[in-house]
A and B are shown apart, each in its own frame.
Chain A
Amino acid sequence: AQKITQTQPGMFVQEKEAVTLDCTYDTSDPSYGLFWYKQPSSGEMIFLIYQGSYDQQNATEGRYSLNFQKARKSANLVISASQLGDSAMYFCAMTISNYKLTFGKGTLLTVNP
């Protein structure tokens, strides 16, 4: 069975600073995909970034980067230069080639001005 753990229920960061949101995963399948999604208070789940288990380099998308440490089974999201609009719930998720996304419980990020 696959499992995602997000140990930070809430995080605070000052505007313009960087923040790291933690995610660890557990699976015995060698082929998997890792995702981060953002959910503002409006409710929509917004895709941010993807990392494949065989990808050699860490994924980056604009201000988002994924710190992928395969041996430690961690896939932390780094947001650089935080903005007020980054305040939201962030979910780490994983799939093992079976179409099913398993989500973590999420981290609520608050960006302070």
Chain B
Amino acid sequence: DVKVTQSSRYLVKRTGEKVFLECVQDMDHENMFWYRQDPGLGLRLIYFSYDVKMKEKGDIPEGYSVSREKKERFSLILESASTNQTSMYLCASSLSTRGGKETQYFGPGTRLLVL
């Protein structure tokens, strides 16, 4: 079974804090993704990575950065958290088998509240 874990289910931070969200997958997947999910807006891709140290911007990268130093770990960084970054953050991973059409497997999500 594919296992994607996220470091926290719930997180409360203050405006201006630096926030790290960690994601780990145990299936040797090449691709990893970070999404945020907001009511009425659905899921939106923030960043993804198709290899170690490689990253690509998604649809809403502003205010975020990512790090992938090891294949199994993909971190999302909020350099200076703002209240509009309060959201549900979902990490996903996929194996490169269908030329970019692979099934993505998701972690349990992190509900972040920025005060």
In the complex, given contacts A46-B106, A99-B48, what are 4 additional A-B residue pairs having Cβ atoms less than 8 angstroms apart?
A: A44-B106, A44-B107, A52-B98, A95-B101
- For B111, the closest partner residue in chain A by CB is A43
- Assuming the A-B contacts A100-B48, A103-B43, are A47 and B100 also in contact, with contact meaning beta carbons closer than 8 angstroms in the complex? no
Chain B stretch 50-74: residues in CB contact (< 8 A) with chain A? 50, 56, 58-59
- Assuming the A-B contacts A99-B50, A106-B42, are A45 and B92 also in contact, with contact meaning beta carbons closer than 8 angstroms in the complex? yes
Determine whether the beta carbon of A33 is less than 8 Å from that of B101: yes
Q: Number of contacts between A and B (CB, 8 Å)?
A: 66
Interface string of B57-97 (1 = CB under 8 A from A): 01100000000000000000000000000001010101000
Chain A residues whose CB sits within 8 angstroms of the CB of B31 once the complex forms: 99
Chain A residues whose CB sits within 8 angstroms of the CB of B92 once the complex forms: 45, 101
Interface string of B31-48 (1 = CB under 8 A from A): 101000000101101001
Q: Looking at the complex, which one of A32, A35, A98, A106 makes contact with B103 (CB distance below 8 Å)? A: A35
Q: Looking at the complex, which one of B56, B101, B108 makes contact with A44 (CB distance below 8 Å)? A: B108
Chain A stretch 63-109: residues in CB contact (< 8 A) with chain B? 91, 95-101, 103-106
Determine whether the beta carbon of A99 is less than 8 Å from that of B88: no
Q: Point out residues on B near A: beta carbons under 8 Å.
A: 31, 33, 40, 42-43, 45, 48, 50, 56, 58-59, 88, 90, 92, 94, 98-109, 111
Determine whether the beta carbon of A44 is less than 8 Å from that of B109: yes
C-alpha spacing A93/B48, complex, angstroms: 17
C-alpha spacing A32/B106, complex, angstroms: 20
- Assuming the A-B contacts A44-B108, A44-B109, A98-B100, are A103 and B42 also in contact, with contact meaning beta carbons closer than 8 angstroms in the complex? yes
Determine whether the beta carbon of B105 is less than 8 Å from that of A97: no
Chain B residues whose CB sits within 8 angstroms of the CB of A14 once the complex forms: none
- For B104, the closest partner residue in chain A by CB is A101
Nearest 10 interchain pairs by C-beta: A33-B101, A45-B106, A97-B100, A43-B109, A103-B43, A44-B108, A99-B100, A103-B42, A105-B42, A95-B101
Determine whether the beta carbon of A100 is less than 8 Å from that of B45: yes
Q: Looking at the complex, which one of B88, B94, B101, B111 makes contact with A31 (CB distance below 8 Å)? A: B101
